[in-house]
Chains A and B, each alone.
Chain A
Amino acid sequence: MNRYADNSITTLQFIAIITGTQVSFGFIDIPYELHEHAGSDGWISLVIGWLVTTAASLIAIRLMKGYRQGTLLDLLAQYGGRWAGRAVACVLACYFAIFSYDGLIYSTRVIKSRILQETPIFITLFLILIPAYMVARNEVRNIGRYSEFALLASLWIPFIFSFTLRHANWLYLLPVLPGGWGPVLSTVPHTIYYFLSFFASVFLYPYLQKKERAGMAIVIALTLTLLSFLFISIVCFVFLSPDEFGTIYQPAIYLLKTVRLPFLEQVEGMFIVMYLLIFSIAWIPSLYFFSYSVNWTFGRTDPRLPLRLLIGTIIVSSYFYVPDYWQLIRLNKWLSGFGFGVEYVLPLLLLALLSMSKRYRAEVKQA
């Protein structure tokens, strides 16, 4: 079990991986999504979604406390047999592959429509994937360091958005709850997708240096995510009139288009390029976990082969076919259902089963 101890990550790295994965495209998309379903009250749904996910994550951490030596898959193999573990590993590998594919295509689509309109997508994708591969082929510790750097290097983002506040009209936030609690509560499931990273708490837990801080770390990570989502949502809500909101995709980028610095035009272009750092935390850890799951299934340890296969497939396939925005949105919807299953229901179910079987064995031993 030295594999986990040798690759331990610090609490800050743990927080950075979780927050980075969650924030990534949410930051660009969440204002539109919230406004579509709940109008200017969407931020309330966000707070409720945060409460729900924090509670779920704390329960998971509490359950994981009993199993310090391995990831969920190791536990499953230990208690349910090798094949049960393999089945779950296959499902997880698919999930992580689709999750990273979704993130990659989304970012390249943004670059294509905003910056490099004439460059073919497969070239952009190729350029993005080279550094992604170089990070993801390493161990968890390297991914932790990378995420930490990416998160710290992106702390300027709120400041650039403060330039847009001179257009703000705070009256757009009123009235609060014009349609009652109904729309707000029905939006909560949509927000949960953006808080997905539950895998982190069950997969990264064994690597964590100071396990007693895991609960605190996950609360901090989720709160950071909540704060960044709340920030961008409220900035967009007070900037765009409620009547024009539905006409603008990716409001976060639209907002930056109105910023004009004396030394820099088209601030949003710079933003997208720099934001790739945050975007990349969506796919780099998932690429790693993909190769981890595949390797686990076949009992291998070198993460490079599955990674090369996946990356090669993505690049080659993008030459022939790239999903458009609408297909991506449908994929996102589907992923959010699947993700909910994989990241919330499945681990909780498994952990509950494991703890039951452990108790059962203990009883058998006693008897």
Chain B
Amino acid sequence: MTAARKLLPPLALLLLLTGCFDRLDMEDASMSLVAGIDVEENGEVYQYTSIPIFAKNSKKKSQSLKVKSTSLRQGRGKFDTFTVGSFNGRKIQVIVVSKRLIETEHAWFRFMDVYFRDGRNPITSHMIVFDGPLSQLYEYTPPNQTILPIALLGVVKSTSSRSEAVKTTLQELHTQMYEFGQTPAVTEVELKQDLRVKGTSLLAHDGRYVTSLDSKESALLLILKKKNTRTVGFSFEVPKELVTDPEGSRWISFTAEKIKVKIRTAVKGGRFSFDIRIRMAAGLMEKQFPTDIRAEQKRKLEAAYSEYVKKELEKLLDKLRENKVDPIGLGIYARAYHYGDFQKVKDHWDEAFSEADVNVAVNVKITDEGSVK
């Protein structure tokens, strides 16, 4: 009797378990893995999606859909009418926006609201800007028969591991969009021959597209952002006086390691100035001319390398200031160390940044010359 009475509550609990209203079986679900937003020439916003097909006999590995809608949530309902299972965005890996969308719709970040508001949607999806119409991307079948999300993630991951493009997740973009002292930067992908990462798209504070960086500039940007977790390589031609045969090849390649960046800020008469000091260790990777890397010659090579990196960084910083974008987040330094002065220019930090002085100093030590002389 007592045992039966003790068993009653757990049994009652078991009865309730079937009452879980959120149950979703795998075979009833259609998981969108790549969400895309594009705008057509007539100004109409279209949504794209790619859903993997798990059926064994299916020739296609994924299903691509396109619907017209100005709200992502409304679009979900429209997708639902196409898919076999119930459509949901809880496993979205990549969010692609077309370049035309971010050029024309400058408040396009509003489309992302649903990912943050709905507590079950992920915010770790990768953000990608696609240079071209999205229909081109969604019709593309990767040659090695993988599905689109895996191909997209693959190119982004491999380039970001070699620091050739920024890698921005939805959550990082949210921070960059709201932060006054920084402007957003997103990976840019194009379809030429095959899917490839083109570089980095730089956006203004309101999300409008401003300009792009190629892979070398992206690597330098990552150094300045102190996001350079992996090694980064540089190849350049050394000055003529360092080689014995001025007519021959002067190419040399280094990898940079242990990159230390120090950024100091100052304000002079309402104008910000930034002092960027970079120290790095270099390993020699390739050298196409004979030279002895000892004593005097080593110092000269180090100086040439420092000069090269410095010139490239200055070029990048000039480009950023010319376009009035601050993807490095120098404004965050300005706020931290000169709060009062920053508050005055907070709402138009892009202007203040374009007028700021930036000094770069680079110090390179060659630590490794490889296994041949």
A interface residues with partner B (beta carbon < 8 Å): 113-120, 123, 126-127, 130, 134, 167, 169, 171-172, 174-175, 178, 240-241, 243-244, 247-248, 253-254, 257-258, 260, 265-266
Contacts and interface: CB of A to CB of B under 8 A. Distances in A.
Given A116-B20, A123-B16, A178-B339, A171 B178 contact: no
Instruction: Report the interface size class on chain B.
Output: 20 to 34
A247 B21 contact: no
Interface stretch (B145-153, B169-177, B272-280): B169-177
B269 interface: no
12 contacts: A118-B21, A119-B22, A120-B21, A167-B171, A171-B335, A178-B339, A178-B340, A241-B179, A257-B123, A257-B124, A258-B123, A266-B122
A257 B171 contact: yes
Interface of B: 9, 13, 16, 19-22, 90-91, 116, 119-120, 122-124, 169, 171-172, 174-175, 177-180, 182, 329, 332-333, 335-337, 339-340
Contact of A175 (B20, B91, B120, B339): B339
A18 B317 CA distance: 55
Contacts, number: 79
Chain A facing B: main interface SS: loop
B108 to A, nearest CB: 17
Contacts of A171: 332-333, 335-336
Nearest to A40: B336
Contact of B178 (A130, A241, A254): A241
A114 B122 CA distance: 11
A253 B116 CA distance: 12
Nearest to A120: B21
A240 B120 CA distance: 20
B21 A119 contact: yes
B21 A241 contact: no
A258 B171 contact: yes
A265 B122 contact: yes
Nearest to A114: B119
Nearest to B91: A265
Nearest to B121: A257
Contacts of A240: 175
A290 to B, nearest CB: 21
Contacts of A265: 91, 122
Contacts of A175: 335-337, 339
B336 to A, nearest CB: 4
